[in-house]
A and B are shown apart, each in its own frame.
Chain A
């Protein structure tokens, strides 16, 4: 599926465009159904299960996997690790698209999406962690937009504006890390209010910490994963600096991920010990928890370490895919599997195909837009007019 230059406005007929086109069309149909028939027409949500995969996947997983933005820009601009510089723009783009799509997904899930600005403009519920999430996500989306804007400005030739905005980089990065810490942890803290509904192995007063630390892991792994995909499909867009740095990005981020995964493993075990939940490990849910902890946390930690030591880039790439999967599993577990564990099987939730369809639709929009931007704007290469001007 090699891509040719997409500077022509004609849409080429390739397997990618056909498949994504079909998905987009189905998505539009489902959107119409959603907004004419209500949530009941499209989802399997119920009074016992008010949050389904649009929250569990689109919101929780989406925000976690878009964390590469703040992690990469923090590494480069705050910690001064200049050799990962080429990874910043792709990460910011992923972050920006990710958060934008999260907001789009929220429009589907929430009952009255035109009221989404209400918590900021009409009446605040400051005792709510969802307020915290909303405020920080909105602000962070703005930050990401501003951080991304130089790319568009370079593409559009707005030199003065671009130079002005680029001087805000450090400030925006710091602001971005603060906001990301707050909203990544608050997403986990959302479930603190329902201890009677979340299985003891996943419920912990450390939930916010777990979500924040795992978002770092998610961000690091997504950057590695995406860079390997970008290399495969957009190699011809990459400039020499990019090509030269990409291996060191994989190695460096892989090493960091190994460390953070080890720390995450330790604090999860501490969490079980603190609540004395060892006995639950011998139950059915306990077995699944061990699969998550050992197969998706301990194993990738080990594999990353081996991959970095042996400079085995293929292993690092596969491990990043495994880790990303692990983040998905963890968010699903907290929001849909460990949640309502006490209800009988007949009252548990499983998404409808239309809900899954909308989620795929949203992801496809992301992929299509990503492709559009990467093939036209200076993401994987430096714009010749601004070379070395970072």
Chain B
């Protein structure tokens, strides 16, 4: 196919432009985001938790969630470990048989409201927002239902309304964002009878947690879970028993989730820029090679033809010369023969003069 140079460059430009549409990604940099200042958080102290499930009840009431199959004061549901589900933003699990615990240990599970949430990073319609209050909120009006947030969350928190055909939503704890911006307490915190949950500014909660550990070193594991895990979370945990024994993963690392995909995303613009140039270059080289091959082929053909012509001409000349020579020889021969015959005839005629008076000559 043949296109003019101008057209080609024009298309290349538009291809490059088109390749950059909708592929913005933050360039790699040394900036370190330490979170919004003054964000709130919740501290859960499991040495104070008695496993009464009032927090589940409070959450259910405040968020107007559907009534559960078993009432909240039915503690037998804790016989099996549970996870958050559609309509259950938070659950309390009981862990019996933890060594050196002196009884069952409880853990409240809900969204940890990470400082740099994996769900927000993963969502391709930005349905999750880390608000300045610290709460990570979910906007159901844009959610497409791809469930990538559920893949991304390292704490396995978001749940989905699989049984809804037309309006399924992702569900998770909202840190009672509508309430906390009005100065109210989150539903679970307000109802907890033993204040195992403390609401306050995250930096104050960390200080409080450290204070408790310092004052009662034998009582707590010397670690505030959530201070650095996955880059830090707004929900913090104090425990009297090792975190791993109560189902909290200690192998998640301190890297915030968005950093895990930063490398791959940063490759997008560079590929968009480099690939067209590279591929066009390869095309140009291959086209050039083709052209050179064709020219060489044409040249070879020409050379061969010329050679053939020259050969033919030479052959013809030689043949003509030969023919000329032959012809001359033939003429000579004929002349010689004629002369010999004439001579012969003359000698014969001289030998018989009387026989024929009349000569025809």
Residues of A in contact with B (beta carbons under 8 Å apart): 34-41, 43, 45-48, 50-51, 74, 77-80, 109-113, 115-116, 118-120, 122-132, 134-136, 139, 166-171, 173-175, 177-179, 181-182, 185-186, 189-197, 205, 208, 390
Report how far A40 CA is from B160 CA in the complex, Å: 10
Q: Does B336 contact A (CB under 8 A)?
A: no
17 more A-B residue pairs beyond the given contacts A45-B162, A50-B151, A77-B283, with a C-beta to C-beta distance below 8 A = A38-B161, A39-B160, A43-B162, A47-B150, A50-B147, A80-B290, A126-B23, A126-B25, A135-B22, A136-B23, A166-B1, A170-B283, A178-B19, A181-B271, A182-B23, A192-B263, A194-B154
Q: Does B159 contact A (CB under 8 A)?
A: yes
Structural contact, A129 and B265, CB atoms closer than 8 A? yes
Structural contact, A193 and B126, CB atoms closer than 8 A? no
21 intermolecular pairs with C-beta atoms under 8 Å apart: A38-B161, A43-B162, A46-B162, A47-B158, A48-B156, A79-B283, A79-B286, A115-B145, A118-B142, A119-B124, A122-B125, A127-B121, A129-B265, A135-B21, A169-B1, A171-B11, A174-B15, A178-B275, A185-B264, A195-B253, A196-B154
Could you say which interface size class chain B belongs to?
35 or more
Cross-interface CB contact of A192 among B150, B158, B260, B279, cutoff 8 Å: B260
Structural contact, A130 and B122, CB atoms closer than 8 A? yes
> A78-B286, A115-B144, A185-B264 in contact; A47/B122 too (CB < 8 A)?
no
Structural contact, B15 and A40, CB atoms closer than 8 A? no
Structural contact, A175 and B15, CB atoms closer than 8 A? yes
Structural contact, B160 and A115, CB atoms closer than 8 A? no
Structural contact, A47 and B148, CB atoms closer than 8 A? no
Cross-interface CB contact of B147 among A37, A51, A74, A166, cutoff 8 Å: A51
Structural contact, A178 and B276, CB atoms closer than 8 A? yes
Report how far A51 CA is from B271 CA in the complex, Å: 28
Structural contact, B275 and A122, CB atoms closer than 8 A? no
Contact with A along B242-267 (1 / 0, CB 8 A): 00000001011100011011011101
Q: Does B120 contact A (CB under 8 A)?
A: yes
> A51-B151, A129-B264, A182-B268 in contact; A174/B159 too (CB < 8 A)?
no
Report how far A114 CA is from B337 CA in the complex, Å: 112
Q: Which residues of B have CB within 8 Å of A190? A: 148, 151
Residues facing A in B1-59 (CB within 8 A) are 1, 3, 11-12, 15, 18-19, 21-26
Cross-interface CB contact of A132 among B19, B23, B257, cutoff 8 Å: B23
Q: Which residues of A have CB within 8 Å of B283? A: 77-80, 170, 174
Q: Which residues of A have CB within 8 Å of B148? A: 128, 130, 190
7 closest cross-chain pairs (CB), A and B: A111-B145, A80-B286, A189-B264, A131-B124, A50-B147, A40-B162, A50-B150
Structural contact, A74 and B279, CB atoms closer than 8 A? yes
Structural contact, B125 and A123, CB atoms closer than 8 A? yes
Q: Does B280 contact A (CB under 8 A)?
A: yes
Tell me, rounded to whole Å, the shortest Cβ–Cβ distance linking A130 to chain B.
4
Cross-interface CB contact of A128 among B124, B287, B289, cutoff 8 Å: B124
Q: Which residues of A have CB within 8 Å of B21? A: 135
Structural contact, A119 and B26, CB atoms closer than 8 A? no
Q: Which residues of B have CB within 8 Å of A173? A: 279
Q: Does B143 contact A (CB under 8 A)?
A: yes
> Considering only CB atoms, which chain B residue lies closest to A49 in the complex?
B150
> Considering only CB atoms, which chain B residue lies closest to A139 in the complex?
B18
Q: Which residues of A have CB within 8 Å of B167? A: 112
Q: Which residues of A have CB within 8 Å of B165? A: 34-38, 41
> A38-B164, A111-B145, A174-B280 in contact; A181/B275 too (CB < 8 A)?
yes
Report how far A39 CA is from B276 CA in the complex, Å: 41
Q: Which residues of A have CB within 8 Å of B282? A: 78-79
Report how far A193 CA is from B249 CA in the complex, Å: 16
Report how far A78 CA is from B151 CA in the complex, Å: 38
Of B159, B164, B265, B282, most buried by chain A (CB within 10 Å of CB) is B265
Q: Does B71 contact A (CB under 8 A)?
A: no
> Considering only CB atoms, which chain B residue lies closest to A36 in the complex?
B165
Report how far A122 CA is from B261 CA in the complex, Å: 23
Tell me, rounded to whole Å, the shortest Cβ–Cβ distance linking A369 to chain B.
26
Structural contact, B147 and A193, CB atoms closer than 8 A? no
Q: Which residues of B have CB within 8 Å of A205? A: 263
